Amino acid sequence: MWTCLGNLIGRRAPEPLSTGSRWILVPLGNPGGEYVDTRHNLGRLMIQRWMSSRRCQPERVRALETGALYDMGPSLLALVPSTYMNHSGKACAEAVAAGLDPARMILLHDDKDLPLGLGRFRLKGGTAGHNGLASIFECLGTQDLARLRLGIGPLRRPLHEFVLGTWTEEEWGRIDALDAPFSRFMELLGEAKSLGGIPGTVNAASFWGEAAPPGNP
Protein backbone atom coordinates (compact mmCIF):
# COMPACT_ATOMS: atom_id res chain seq x y z
CA MET A 1 0.00 0.00 0.00
CA TRP A 2 2.62 2.55 1.10
CA THR A 3 4.82 1.81 -1.90
CA CYS A 4 2.14 3.07 -4.30
CA LEU A 5 0.50 5.81 -2.23
CA GLY A 6 3.66 7.07 -0.59
CA ASN A 7 5.39 7.73 -3.89
CA LEU A 8 2.59 10.12 -4.86
CA ILE A 9 3.06 12.54 -1.95
CA GLY A 10 4.13 15.94 -3.17
CA ARG A 11 2.83 15.54 -6.74
CA ARG A 12 -0.93 15.82 -6.39
CA ALA A 13 -2.86 17.53 -9.16
CA PRO A 14 -3.16 21.32 -8.63
CA GLU A 15 -6.95 21.03 -8.52
CA PRO A 16 -8.22 17.98 -6.60
CA LEU A 17 -10.52 15.66 -8.49
CA SER A 18 -14.03 15.11 -7.19
CA THR A 19 -16.11 11.99 -7.65
CA GLY A 20 -19.35 13.59 -6.53
CA SER A 21 -22.21 11.13 -6.87
CA ARG A 22 -20.76 9.46 -9.96
CA TRP A 23 -19.49 5.89 -10.16
CA ILE A 24 -15.96 5.30 -11.43
CA LEU A 25 -15.60 2.37 -13.80
CA VAL A 26 -12.09 0.88 -13.93
CA PRO A 27 -11.81 -1.42 -17.00
CA LEU A 28 -8.72 -3.58 -16.62
CA GLY A 29 -6.52 -4.67 -19.49
CA ASN A 30 -3.20 -4.29 -21.23
CA PRO A 31 -2.35 -1.24 -23.38
CA GLY A 32 -1.44 -1.45 -27.05
CA GLY A 33 -3.09 -2.68 -30.20
CA GLU A 34 -1.72 -6.20 -29.88
CA TYR A 35 -3.82 -6.78 -26.75
CA VAL A 36 -7.13 -5.28 -27.87
CA ASP A 37 -8.69 -8.61 -28.88
CA THR A 38 -7.24 -10.73 -26.08
CA ARG A 39 -9.30 -12.37 -23.34
CA HIS A 40 -7.56 -10.37 -20.61
CA ASN A 41 -9.01 -7.16 -22.10
CA LEU A 42 -12.67 -8.17 -21.98
CA GLY A 43 -13.58 -5.40 -19.51
CA ARG A 44 -12.21 -2.73 -21.83
CA LEU A 45 -13.73 -4.37 -24.89
CA MET A 46 -17.23 -4.27 -23.40
CA ILE A 47 -16.87 -0.59 -22.48
CA GLN A 48 -15.71 0.21 -26.00
CA ARG A 49 -18.60 -1.73 -27.57
CA TRP A 50 -21.08 0.00 -25.26
CA MET A 51 -19.76 3.43 -26.24
CA SER A 52 -19.85 2.54 -29.92
CA SER A 53 -23.47 1.44 -29.64
CA ARG A 54 -24.31 4.85 -28.18
CA ARG A 55 -22.19 6.63 -30.80
CA CYS A 56 -20.45 8.62 -28.11
CA GLN A 57 -16.87 9.52 -27.36
CA PRO A 58 -15.82 9.95 -23.72
CA GLU A 59 -14.24 13.27 -22.83
CA ARG A 60 -10.91 13.11 -21.03
CA VAL A 61 -11.18 14.89 -17.69
CA ARG A 62 -7.63 14.46 -16.44
CA ALA A 63 -4.45 12.88 -17.75
CA LEU A 64 -2.59 10.98 -15.03
CA GLU A 65 0.96 9.66 -15.09
CA THR A 66 -0.34 6.08 -15.04
CA GLY A 67 -3.70 6.46 -16.78
CA ALA A 68 -6.51 8.87 -17.59
CA LEU A 69 -9.94 9.79 -16.27
CA TYR A 70 -12.86 10.13 -18.70
CA ASP A 71 -16.33 11.63 -18.43
CA MET A 72 -18.88 8.97 -19.43
CA GLY A 73 -22.02 11.04 -18.78
CA PRO A 74 -23.87 12.55 -15.81
CA SER A 75 -23.53 9.43 -13.62
CA LEU A 76 -20.33 7.71 -14.75
CA LEU A 77 -16.60 8.25 -14.99
CA ALA A 78 -13.99 5.84 -16.35
CA LEU A 79 -10.49 5.47 -14.97
CA VAL A 80 -8.34 3.71 -17.58
CA PRO A 81 -4.85 2.62 -16.48
CA SER A 82 -2.10 3.05 -19.08
CA THR A 83 0.14 0.44 -17.45
CA TYR A 84 0.21 -3.29 -18.06
CA MET A 85 -2.34 -5.37 -16.18
CA ASN A 86 -0.12 -6.33 -13.25
CA HIS A 87 0.48 -2.65 -12.42
CA SER A 88 -3.18 -1.55 -12.59
CA GLY A 89 -3.09 -0.39 -8.97
CA LYS A 90 -0.80 2.52 -9.76
CA ALA A 91 -3.52 4.43 -11.63
CA CYS A 92 -6.06 3.70 -8.89
CA ALA A 93 -3.68 4.92 -6.20
CA GLU A 94 -2.84 8.04 -8.21
CA ALA A 95 -6.53 8.82 -8.70
CA VAL A 96 -7.26 8.34 -4.99
CA ALA A 97 -4.32 10.60 -4.09
CA ALA A 98 -5.82 13.21 -6.45
CA GLY A 99 -9.16 13.12 -4.63
CA LEU A 100 -11.29 10.29 -6.03
CA ASP A 101 -13.26 8.10 -3.64
CA PRO A 102 -12.32 4.39 -3.89
CA ALA A 103 -15.76 3.50 -2.51
CA ARG A 104 -17.19 4.76 -5.84
CA MET A 105 -14.94 2.51 -7.97
CA ILE A 106 -16.28 -0.51 -9.88
CA LEU A 107 -13.62 -2.75 -11.41
CA LEU A 108 -14.42 -4.43 -14.75
CA HIS A 109 -12.28 -7.51 -15.32
CA ASP A 110 -12.08 -10.90 -16.98
CA ASP A 111 -12.65 -14.00 -14.86
CA LYS A 112 -11.17 -17.37 -15.85
CA ASP A 113 -13.50 -19.25 -13.47
CA LEU A 114 -16.72 -18.11 -15.16
CA PRO A 115 -17.82 -19.24 -18.63
CA LEU A 116 -17.85 -16.66 -21.39
CA GLY A 117 -21.34 -15.18 -21.46
CA LEU A 118 -21.84 -14.92 -17.70
CA GLY A 119 -21.04 -12.10 -15.30
CA ARG A 120 -21.13 -11.72 -11.55
CA PHE A 121 -21.20 -8.54 -9.47
CA ARG A 122 -19.46 -8.52 -6.10
CA LEU A 123 -19.01 -5.78 -3.52
CA LYS A 124 -15.71 -7.22 -2.25
CA GLY A 125 -13.59 -10.37 -2.41
CA GLY A 126 -10.18 -11.80 -3.19
CA THR A 127 -8.07 -11.86 -6.33
CA ALA A 128 -8.80 -15.44 -7.53
CA GLY A 129 -5.35 -15.31 -9.10
CA HIS A 130 -6.01 -12.13 -11.13
CA ASN A 131 -2.85 -9.99 -11.24
CA GLY A 132 -4.71 -6.76 -11.98
CA LEU A 133 -6.85 -7.15 -8.88
CA ALA A 134 -3.81 -8.08 -6.80
CA SER A 135 -2.06 -4.87 -7.85
CA ILE A 136 -5.09 -2.71 -7.02
CA PHE A 137 -5.67 -4.36 -3.63
CA GLU A 138 -2.00 -3.91 -2.72
CA CYS A 139 -1.87 -0.26 -3.78
CA LEU A 140 -5.16 0.75 -2.13
CA GLY A 141 -4.72 -1.46 0.91
CA THR A 142 -8.19 -3.00 0.71
CA GLN A 143 -10.18 -5.71 -1.04
CA ASP A 144 -13.47 -3.93 -0.34
CA LEU A 145 -13.89 -2.79 -3.93
CA ALA A 146 -16.91 -3.53 -6.12
CA ARG A 147 -16.28 -5.44 -9.30
CA LEU A 148 -18.08 -6.90 -12.30
CA ARG A 149 -16.53 -10.28 -13.13
CA LEU A 150 -16.88 -11.13 -16.84
CA GLY A 151 -16.32 -14.78 -17.67
CA ILE A 152 -13.78 -15.88 -20.27
CA GLY A 153 -13.90 -19.63 -19.55
CA PRO A 154 -13.72 -22.49 -19.97
CA LEU A 155 -10.07 -22.13 -19.02
CA ARG A 156 -7.46 -23.89 -21.10
CA ARG A 157 -3.95 -24.22 -19.70
CA PRO A 158 -1.41 -22.71 -19.66
CA LEU A 159 -3.14 -19.74 -18.05
CA HIS A 160 -0.77 -17.07 -19.40
CA GLU A 161 -1.29 -18.15 -23.00
CA PHE A 162 -5.03 -18.44 -22.49
CA VAL A 163 -5.66 -14.94 -21.09
CA LEU A 164 -3.37 -13.36 -23.69
CA GLY A 165 -4.89 -15.40 -26.51
CA THR A 166 -7.26 -13.83 -29.03
CA TRP A 167 -10.95 -14.64 -29.37
CA THR A 168 -12.11 -17.48 -31.59
CA GLU A 169 -14.98 -17.07 -34.06
CA GLU A 170 -17.33 -18.94 -31.71
CA GLU A 171 -16.29 -16.72 -28.79
CA TRP A 172 -17.02 -13.57 -30.81
CA GLY A 173 -20.59 -14.84 -31.14
CA ARG A 174 -20.89 -15.02 -27.35
CA ILE A 175 -19.44 -11.52 -27.02
CA ASP A 176 -22.07 -10.21 -29.46
CA ALA A 177 -24.71 -11.75 -27.17
CA LEU A 178 -23.10 -9.99 -24.17
CA ASP A 179 -23.83 -6.51 -25.54
CA ALA A 180 -27.46 -6.44 -24.38
CA PRO A 181 -26.93 -7.57 -20.76
CA PHE A 182 -23.85 -5.38 -20.42
CA SER A 183 -25.88 -2.40 -21.63
CA ARG A 184 -28.51 -3.24 -19.00
CA PHE A 185 -25.79 -3.32 -16.38
CA MET A 186 -24.56 0.13 -17.43
CA GLU A 187 -28.09 1.53 -17.29
CA LEU A 188 -28.63 -0.02 -13.87
CA LEU A 189 -25.36 1.43 -12.58
CA GLY A 190 -26.09 4.85 -14.03
CA GLU A 191 -29.40 4.99 -12.15
CA ALA A 192 -28.12 3.52 -8.88
CA LYS A 193 -27.78 5.64 -5.76
CA SER A 194 -26.03 2.76 -4.00
CA LEU A 195 -24.62 -0.62 -5.03
CA GLY A 196 -26.48 -2.72 -2.48
CA GLY A 197 -29.29 -3.86 -4.77
CA ILE A 198 -27.17 -4.54 -7.85
CA PRO A 199 -25.80 -8.03 -7.03
CA GLY A 200 -29.27 -9.54 -6.66
CA THR A 201 -30.29 -8.27 -10.09
CA VAL A 202 -27.07 -8.81 -12.04
CA ASN A 203 -26.25 -12.22 -10.56
CA ALA A 204 -29.55 -13.76 -11.65
CA ALA A 205 -29.09 -16.18 -14.56
CA SER A 206 -31.98 -14.52 -16.38
CA PHE A 207 -30.07 -11.21 -16.44
CA TRP A 208 -27.58 -12.61 -18.95
CA GLY A 209 -30.24 -14.18 -21.17
CA GLU A 210 -29.02 -15.48 -24.51
CA ALA A 211 -25.42 -14.63 -23.56
CA ALA A 212 -25.39 -17.34 -20.90
CA PRO A 213 -23.99 -20.72 -21.99
CA PRO A 214 -26.55 -23.55 -21.95
CA GLY A 215 -26.67 -25.48 -18.69
CA ASN A 216 -25.06 -22.76 -16.54
CA PRO A 217 -26.97 -21.19 -13.62
Q: How far apart are CA 203 and CA 3, in angstroms?
A: 35
C-alpha 50/C-alpha 150 separation (Å) is: 15
Q: Is 40 a catalytic residue?
A: yes
Q: Which of 40, 87, 109, 130 is catalytic?
A: 40
| φ, ψ at 61 (rounded to 5°) | -90, -40
What sign has the CA pseudo-torsion 128, 133, 137, 143? negative
Q: Hey, which residues are catalytic here?
A: 40
